[in-house]
Amino acid sequence: MMMTERLTTQESKQHCPYCGSPIHLIIEPMDEPQQYTEDCEVCCRPMVVDVSPDQQVEVFREDDT
Ligand SMILES: [Zn+2]
């Protein structure tokens, strides 16, 4: 039985846009863009995580527009 690797979650290393702490994100591969909010483990401020369909990850402050 073959396992497909297409749906394997991916780990992404980013930095908190507020305090600069390194953060590890677990990215769920999807065919469409995702955007969600995650709290920093260090400073507890909400950062917006943006994942494009090709798994490019961007993290930015929630109060940025
Ligand atoms: Zn932080």
Burial label for 51, CB within 10 Å (0-12, 13-18, 19+), is buried
Going from the Cα of 60 to the center of ligand 1, the distance in angstroms, rounded, reads: 11
Going from the Cα of 14 to the center of ligand 1, the distance in angstroms, rounded, reads: 11
Q: Is 34 in a helix, a strand, or coil?
A: strand
Report the amino acid identity of residue 63.
Answer: D
Q: According to the model, what pLDDT value does residue 1 have? A: 61
For the chain, what's the residue count?
A: 65
Going from the Cα of 2 to the center of ligand 1, the distance in angstroms, rounded, reads: 40
The CA distance from 51 to 48, in Å, is 10
For the chain (65 residues), the mean pLDDT of every run of 10, in chain order, is 69 96 91 93 96 91 77
- How far is Cα of residue 21 from the mean position of the Cα atoms in its chain? 14
Going from the Cα of 46 to the center of ligand 1, the distance in angstroms, rounded, reads: 8
